[in-house]
Amino acid sequence: MGEFKVHRVRFFDYMPSGIRALAFNGDTERMAVARMDGSVEIFHCSDRFFQEKIIPGREQCGIEGLSWVGERLFSAGLNGGITEYDLTNQKVKYTIDAYKIPWYTFLILCFYHLNLDRQKSRIVSLSWHTSGSKIAAGMMDMIQIFNVETGHSIHRMLADRGVGTSRSKECVVWSVVYLSDGTIVSGDSVGMVKLWDDQTGTLIKSHNVTKCDVLALSVSQNEDSLVAGTSEGTVVQFQFVSMVLGKDDKEWVRTRTFKNHTHDIRAVAEITTAVVSGGMDAQLVVKPLLDKIEVRSAASALRKIHFPHRRLVFCARNSGLMLFQYPGHLELWRLGESEGKGIPGSSLFVKRNPEKLLHLKVKGEDHIRCSAVSPCGEWIVYSTASSLRLYRLHCDNNNVSITKISKLPKVLSSANQLCFSSDSSHLFSASTQSSVHIVSLSQSGCKFVGTLKPKSGSHQAIHLLAASEDGEWLASANSDHEVHIYNLQTRKAHCTVPVYSSAVTAMGIHPTTNCLFMMYADQQMCEYSIEQKQYTDWSRTVQRKGLHRLWMERDTPCLNVMFNPQNPSHVILHDTYMLCIIDQSLPLPDDKTQFYNQLTLKSLTEDQRKSHSHAFKVCKTFKDILCVELISDQSLVVVERPLEDVATQLPAPIKQKKFAT
Amino acid sequence: MATLYEGYTLCGVGPVQNSSNIGILGVEQGGDIDHVLVTDTSRSITVYKVKGVTSYAINTFLKQGQIISCPAVFNTQSQEYVVVTDDRVVRVWKEDDVNLEKAFKATVSADVLKVLSATDSEPVVLFCCGAVRFLDSLLASPQQPMEDVLTEDEIIRWSTIVKAEHQLVILFSTEQRGEHCLYVQRFNPNTLVKHRFETEPGLSAPISFSATCRGSNIHLLYLYLNGSVYESVLPFRSSSTGAEGVQALSRSLCLSLPLGEEKLMSGAAVVLDEAHVAVVGFPHPSAGACKDYLCIWNTHFQTLQASKEMAGRIYSQLWCYSGKLYVPHGKMLSVIPFDCQKSSLAAAMGKQKQTSQSESKSCRFVTSWTSQSCTDVTQTTEIKSRMSTRNVSDLSIIPTSAVEDVQAEVGEFIRRTPQADLQLAAGRVALELVSRSQTDANFYPQCAFLLLLETRYLCYSVCPELLSLAMVKKDFHLCQIAFQIFSDIPEAVTCACLKTILSTPDLEMETVNLDMDSVIFMKELTQAHSRSDEEGGQLNGFCHPALESDVSDTPSNKLQRDPFALDMSCPVGLHKGALLNEVLQTAYSDRSLLPHLKDLTVPQVIVFLQYLRFLYLKYSHDAHKQIRALRTPSISQIIDWVCLLLDAHFTVLAVAPEAKRLVFDLHKFVRSQVKLYAELGKIEGSLQVLKSSKQSEDFGMYAIQVIELF
């Protein structure tokens, strides 16, 4: 099959940001995740937790709480501001500085203009009763219930401080949940989950969950299950069950404990079949509740989401340059060079080390939404929510300089996705209402050429763009799962790929056949002939025969589709844990075939290999892959971000005494 | 276990003068490891090369009228032989000097008792007066005067030389007017310490001594005519330099040999190693009156390890050189090679060491045995004296009374005798009961035997005939208890019992009253089978590799029957199974068991193998884990027995048509196991690859590598 020279890159210091808040919308099956850097992400829970939308954060923008109101998403920040998000265009809609009091957490259900009794103590957490007439507030050493109409305190419930030395420390009620039956659940810094009666203001039951803090609480939609996240990284589940079988006399009983985090859990949420948790270790953990799952499937496996489902690394194929996208800056690197040849599995002598050419800081407070480098390596473009900047790069041997292109056409004020044509002569910028602006690039500057608009009239933002090698075609994919193909000669919509239930995670246009190869979040793949406006025969065969079980069970989406110009039947794909070359000329594996067969094939002779080979050639040499790209000299660039490296850069977790350490 | 191999006669023993207990003058180590020097009471000194079963000899004769005073020795330093003739003439000659007259001789000033020689050191001459000289210095001035160490009427009875760490120690015992003393002569500095043997009324002098050096101590073992073997430990280096006065010799009883009815005249003991003693002249515990036996006893466990009958008169002489015993008996000197396996608990307990459950149990008895024998010597001696009187009075009825009376008397005896005394007494009573049962066909006091067994003080060696008697009487209950309690059943007896059990029809067996626990285990085991069948298959998705792999090669056969799913009915009855389980749990060593297993007939082997396979299948279905039983055979015991049976009978089983199916099934099982291990090997290999690939992962921040996809 073949040898590849691989540039293994581990110097992209990408650090995922800690998770601060979670909000689950049961109607749309969407999970909103707010991170420490102010970004908000939308995951589709029933589409393998694909990260559909990313709203980049801003400097100094701390989000403390997230809440869905219908299909509208709101967040409350540390500075007292309340923000609503425009999920269609994936940006902030507006921010109102509602109160100039610092709210530490705000759980918004609807807006009331409240005049509560003046509080001496800080309010740390809040929860509304479903009736909307009462609100529970967690404070220092106590919980208060307010009548919303009068603004007066109904009950004051004192939380106990810890024993011993912690006696002198205030007990912070980090989280409260007001259940519809009038029970108030609180989680505090002493490590207790306490249940209170709002009628009498008395403690019903108290559970000691941890020695550290209980930071987050969340109740399931039908209020029969409650999860608490602690600063030790454990999630504790409580269930509302009857103590005697068949009797209606129910109690909250501690049932399960999960430990999937190394650091503080700052947010928990219970979705239909799983508990989702996130915290300082920046991973989103989906722990399925096996009692709610009937069949074993990809949905019943523990899922840990470490990296965004978007590309953060771009390669200039023809010039060996790499662009790393950090939230607040871009880095441009030149790949190293090797000398001599080596046997498979060996490392080559590095003649020239990789070199950082450029460190480009973002102007303004907004974080980068998207960026791109042209295949020739001459152009760099990035966009934030508010501005788009295009730079031209001059490389004379060791001298690197950039010039900012000043007079940009007005349509290039902001972009959801950016892409260069393969000859680097045009820039495609995805804009509002699923439209794509075309700008031509030349020595003198750039010129607006036209706008491509879909026939469907979808308003969703485009998250993927793919241009064909010959400059004829452009494909765009948006969050409505629509894939539009445009003819760049006529600048008209050519056709629309039939809409599939799962989101497109990666796509590419084949350089010789002009077929669009698409990967979906549910691990399906399709090949669509642009010229014939139909799925190819190979694609139909794949659909008919089905993909191998092990392929379908992978839990990270494919993030790039590449083609090998020297072998047109090869499609190169990658996800976080593997690199795969699909040889379309070989038979597809069925469920009885050994899927990961590289080790077996290695041990066989050339002749025997033929009978054992199948289309999927999976290489598991690499892990924690952020990007794989095939550059023009037939070598692969694999950018890895080992999780151990991420872990070493995280703040120290709560110290726990362990034996023999 | 110790073994006595087939011996052979080395030479004849000359005509015995008077009634002394000396057949020949002595057997001494020759110049080589397999050379011995035999000094006859007549006038010949012979060097024998003893190797395998052959021997050759070089004879040296003395002139008529000369008398050899002491055994000839070989001086390894000068490669010369030394002998003393006519009490005072020391003769030294080399191997090629056949005529002693031409050899070097020197006449000394006092009567020589013995020349003592240890390898790689100067021979020492011990005079009758107790004086000691190195041979070299003596020959330099033969006429030097000798001091009198001993008093006039003190006679040296026995002497030896012990060497360790280049240090020589001479030990000799003396007798003076009925008082027996031990002298310890150390050299450099020269010290002589006198010890007094403890005497008891009615106990004469020790009849045989054997001294060995272990660590920094000399262990002196001596045997009395009453069957007691005592051990005294002397420090190699004297702490008190030439201390005056006579010290009492502290001793500990390490063995008490069974006595026959006849009064013994002679006997000898020699230490073989730390744990084993060879004894000649004492009766075999089960052979009745005949006393002419050579026995190897384990002093740690007080068990008889091996025995051999010796024809003819026994003398108080016994030598041991490099793995061979030299026993003069009748008119010949026999060489008997022996082998003592390192006496560890594991060897004594045989296979039981591996099993977890039975180990703890059997060990408990052992500790009580050793603690009894090693700790409190004085107590033991007291017991002996007390017991000897009581025995006579209480159980004198055994030879004559009816079964019921005897049983009642034994019960009473056990109840009355203190626990500490029982250990020695129980065996004696059992012996008496067994010997009467053997002669009197109508006499079989089962209850008495059971009571004695329940004391847990019996072991096989104490009363060897008990088990075979029970087998003859088909008393399987007693057998079962004995199997549970005895940890030293010889392999031959185990096999004989196994044969009896297998040949007894199931019908007869079911009426036998057995230990409930074992029967319940069998019941549960056979029921577990039907239960798991009802559940419709195996738990946990267990799928034997054979099921998958055999589809290709024997499809038709496969359809008919599956060896691992069917045939799960127990091939023997519950009671027989329970007894077989006891056999499986006995201690044995492979090498000794194998020849006896060949005694089983083919049908017996097949039934036993079927039963073992049944057990194995049950075990692999985890059925036994749900059953609470005190004693269950372990899976390794089952597999070991299968292997042994196949080893012993493989050729017969291979051709016997009725065994074909069984062998075929077992073969399949083995093949599947081999396949499983092959697969496991592959997994191990890939895991190793994973490990090594992980190690090579660390390349820093950047590398250019080559990968290959197939």
Contact A10 B702 (CB under 8 A): yes
A598 CA: distance to closest CA in chain B (Å): 6
- B505-511: average pLDDT: 86
**Where along chain A do its domains lie?**
17-103
B564 CA: distance to closest CA in chain A (Å): 26
pLDDT-derived band at B546, boundaries 50, 70, 90 = very low
Pick A655 or B513 by higher pLDDT: B513
Q: How far is it, in rounded angstroms, from Cα A20 to Cα A105?
A: 11
Pick B192 or B302 by higher pLDDT: B192
Indicate if the pLDDT at residue A169 is higher than 50.
Answer: yes
**Where along chain B do its domains lie?**
403-488
Q: Which residues of A touch B695 (CB under 8 A)?
A: none
Contact B704 A7 (CB under 8 A): yes
pLDDT-derived band at B14, boundaries 50, 70, 90 = low
Contact B710 A613 (CB under 8 A): yes
Q: How far is it, in rounded angstroms, from Cα B709 to Cα A3?
A: 6
B693 CA: distance to closest CA in chain A (Å): 8
Q: How far is it, in rounded angstroms, from Cα A377 to Cα A375?
A: 5
Q: Which residues of B touch A341 (CB under 8 A)?
A: 706
pLDDT in tens, B579-633: 999 999 888 888 888 888 888 998 899 999 999 988 888 887 765 566 667 778 8
* Partner B contacted by A586 (CB < 8 A): no
Contact B705 A348 (CB under 8 A): yes
* Partner B contacted by A620 (CB < 8 A): no
A422 CA: distance to closest CA in chain B (Å): 26
- Joined together, the tokens standing for residue B346 give 């594991």
Closest C-alpha among B633, B641, B349, B313 to residue B495: B641
- B144-158: average pLDDT: 85
pLDDT in tens, B74-126: 888 888 888 888 888 888 888 777 677 777 888 888 888 889 988 888 889 99
Contact B708 A4 (CB under 8 A): yes
Contact B709 A613 (CB under 8 A): no
Nearest to A350 among B686, B704, B707 (CB): B704
- B163-182: average pLDDT: 84
Q: How far is it, in rounded angstroms, from Cα B526 to Cα B662?
A: 20
Q: Tell me the helices (H) and strands (E) count for chain A, helix number first.
A: 5, 53
Q: What ipTM was predicted for this assembly?
A: 0.87
pLDDT value at residue A366 = 92
Nearest to B702 among A2, A344, A354 (CB): A354
Q: How far is it, in rounded angstroms, from Cα B668 to Cα A597?
A: 30
B710 CA: distance to closest CA in chain A (Å): 5
Give the chain B residue whose CA is nearest to the CA of A611: B710
Q: Which residues of B touch A342 (CB under 8 A)?
A: 705-706
Contact A8 B704 (CB under 8 A): yes
pLDDT value at residue A113 = 37
Q: How far apart are the first and last CA of chain B?
A: 61
Residue A300 DSSP one-character state: G
pLDDT-derived band at A417, boundaries 50, 70, 90 = very high
How many CB pairs lie under 8 A apart between chains A and B?
80
Indicate if the pLDDT at residue A382 is higher than 90.
Answer: yes
**Mean pLDDT lowest for which of A420-424, A589-593, B283-287, B308-312?**
B283-287
Contact A344 B708 (CB under 8 A): yes
Q: How far is it, in rounded angstroms, from Cα A267 to Cα A257?
A: 16
Pick A262 or B691 by higher pLDDT: A262
Distances (CA, A) of B526 to B129, B519, B535, B573, B575: 79, 11, 15, 10, 12
pLDDT value at residue B20 = 56
Report the mean per-residue pLDDT for chain A.
88
Helix or strand or coil: residue B158? strand
Q: Are the C-beta atoms of A189 and A148 separated by less than 8 Å? A: no
Burial class (CB in 10 A: 0-12, 13-18, 19+), A103: buried
Contact A1 B700 (CB under 8 A): no
> In A, residues 449-488, which contact B (CB 8 Å cutoff)?
none
pLDDT value at residue A388 = 93
The fraction of chain A above a pLDDT of 70, given in percent, is 94
Residue B102 DSSP one-character state: G
Q: Which residues of B touch A2 (CB under 8 A)?
A: 708-709
Residues near B645 by Cβ (< 8 Å), separated by ≥ 6? B597, B600, B605, B608, B609, B612
- B297-313: average pLDDT: 79
- B142-146: average pLDDT: 86
User: For the domain A17-103, what is the CATH superfamily, name and number?
Assistant: Hemopexin-like domain (2.110.10.10)
Report the mean per-residue pLDDT for chain B.
77
Place of tokens 């009197």: B440
Indicate if the pLDDT at residue B547 is higher than 70.
Answer: no
pLDDT in tens, B328-349: 888 888 888 888 765 444 444 5
pLDDT-derived band at B376, boundaries 50, 70, 90 = very low
The fraction of chain A above a pLDDT of 90, given in percent, is 60
Q: Which residues of A touch B686 (CB under 8 A)?
A: 599
The model's pTM: 0.55
Q: How far is it, in rounded angstroms, from Cα B492 to Cα B417?
A: 34
Q: Which residues of A touch B706 (CB under 8 A)?
A: 3-6, 341-346, 348
Contact B708 A338 (CB under 8 A): no
Contact B702 A599 (CB under 8 A): no
Nearest to A5 among B686, B699, B706 (CB): B706
- B342-369: average pLDDT: 40
pLDDT in tens, A296-324: 776 678 999 999 999 999 999 999 999 99
pLDDT value at residue A637 = 95
Closest C-alpha among B629, B588, B587 to residue B365: B587
Indicate if the pLDDT at residue A59 is higher than 60.
Answer: yes
Contact B709 A9 (CB under 8 A): no
pLDDT in tens, B224-268: 888 888 888 888 776 655 455 677 788 888 888 877 667 777 888
Nearest to B706 among A1, A345, A598 (CB): A345
Indicate if the pLDDT at residue A281 is higher than 70.
Answer: yes
Contact A348 B704 (CB under 8 A): yes
pLDDT in tens, A107-141: 444 334 344 555 556 778 888 888 888 889 888 88
Indicate if the pLDDT at residue B541 is higher than 60.
Answer: no
Nearest to A599 among B686, B699, B701 (CB): B686
The fraction of chain B above a pLDDT of 70, given in percent, is 77
Interface test with A, best of B687, B694, B707 (most A CBs within 10 A): B707
